Structure 1
Amino acid sequence: MTRAELDAAGITDPALRADYAHCRALNARHGRTYFLATRLLPPERRPAVHALYGFARWADDIVDDLGAAAPVAERAAALRALEDELTAALDGAARRKGARGTSPVVRALAHTAARYGIEARHFTDFMTAMRSDLTVTDYPDYPALRRYTHGSAAVIGLQLLPVLGTVAPRERAAPHAAALGVAFQLTNFLRDVGEDLDRGRVYLPADLLAAHGVDRELLRWSRETGADDPRVTAALRAATALNREVYREAEPGIALLDPVARPCVRTAFVLYRDILRAVERAGFPVLRRRVVVPRRRRAAVALVGLGAVALARSRAGAGAARPAAGAVAR
């Protein structure tokens, strides 16, 4: 299917096709929910989404998986090298609609950024957030966490917006797209509390934890013993309520997207929110294990998405024969 997507996107250069295929493989291997939703996009838009995901994943892996005991200085140097490569590639892409870097993910990203006019500042903000992960291990309050998630998650939604397309001015859809990126990441933070703690990080606001009598030591005790504590459960429930508020911020933006892109985003929205619900229904066992949405549920949501895709594409075809009143804002 990779070949059909690249053909549909008009990507003909063999080296560039290999770069995009590399990004697609990263998405398929590491982002199951994200990849499933991406399959609902028109084929010509999927490679761009794979490129954006692939780059984000590459940078995140430098922060988290660059060897079990890699010192901060080594990770920082790797991030600097990646950012330098990215800057050079984006500058070249702006001039030539495509530039060669040394990493497949950077080459594909530069091509996507030029093709869709994605602002370079969104990538700069993302790299700033990645660098902060090297030294920042907790956040005093929710506003501080939201400042971090602007660069680590909100900008991902903003990067995707030109690829998805909108039926309203892009600036109207942008706050919702940014909120959706944050909502997804807050859900990941809740699901991965135990794994993040193993890396020395706590992505739950310290004042929220303290309001329920929780600190890092109690989280560590619960992680190491596998025992529940009502104070931890109460804090996780409060964090879940904050996460739900962000989903409410994001949801109105789905209707502002190009109709053929809505099923993809709606599917991702439902599946990520299902992770949140699964965590809650399981009693918040996130310090012991990773909660997942059952495969049957994911398949059912995807099936609904497929039906929505068929309807949207049939309407788009009718619209091509009979021009609509307004054009899609790209």
Structure 2
Amino acid sequence: MVQGGRKRWAVLALAVAGAGCGRDAGSSLAQAPVQVEPLLLDLPRIPIGQTGHGEYRIRNVSGVQQVLTGIGPLPCDCASAELELPGRSAEERSVRVEPGGMQLALQPGEEAVLRFELRTARFREPVSRKSGAFLLRFRDRAPVRVEFAADIWNPHWVEPWALELGRVGVRQRASGYVMVRGHDEPEFGLIAPQTVDGWTLRVEHVSSSPDTYRINVTAPEELPQGGFRQDFVLRSDLPESPPIKFSVQGVAEPDIAWSPRRLLILAGERPRSVEMVLRTLPVDLVIAAPAAELSGEGADGLGVAVEPIEEGHSYRIRLTARAPVPDALQSGTLLLRTGVAEQPEIAVPYSILPAPARENP
């Protein structure tokens, strides 16, 4: 769409020295070697999350070739452009857009089409209007500045768009919330199911002017162990409004978690010890201090101490080397017995590093 229905042309030509040199605007225009239409690309209104499309036409109206050396850089990662030469063969029709080093020779009378896209799905803050500019560069001629502008229909906004739950227990039923607020449209209703793939959604209308909703999200009764991501797509009651999208992600761990996952006793430290923390993730899971058992190389020279951080929920376990530093690497296992049927034992590998080798004098 061209703003105001008028075509605007960029003229690339050597400047005419002085306005009173006997050449009027018509004669100057006739000498313009390259024309660009439009200077301002006015895109149709774009619903948030969708992509707007438009094009610039670059025409060589001179009798000699004109060399396009660069396009851009584009003003944001939400914009992209592709250059096409409709009059050439399929192998030569598409040209990679680069800020420099293109060296594209437009032959007399040849036209190139620069197809432009504005991807509003990449916006991470509420936007109602987006504009920008970039340069078309030619050899031995001044660059041409072209612009774009678009109204963005952003009726409502969700934040955070990615809800991070962090490390949670597989049966913890972890929860969090996102907020949906009116932006371009102050009044709207939120349409949301009660469950999505086992996740529970509970919607609260928090305030009006603009309408603001809180969406409480609770994990299923059991999550698969490991990283997870759940996407949600909701709707408002506004006709043809863009969807309300957000995701929930994190890492599901066993009900009893520990860190670090491997214990390393260094040779040069005093005291030669290392600590780990054992904790329950579900708030209703209570465990006694775990019983510790060592097996493997160097086990007889190690001591284990268990002390509560929060009785019933978290414990600190300290592994201390009492024997001299070994001459070779020693490895074994610290076994912690929890008394929990679903996770009765936790095996934590340990290593005792040897003394560094001495250099020969």
TM tier relative to shorter chain: under 0.3
The structure richer in strand per residue is 2
Q: Scaled by the length of structure 2, what TM-score is found?
A: 0.20
Larger radius of gyration: 2
What is the TM-score normalised by the length of structure 1?
0.21
Structure with greater helix percent: 1
Relative contact order (alpha carbons < 8 A, sep ≥ 6): 1 or 2 greater? 1
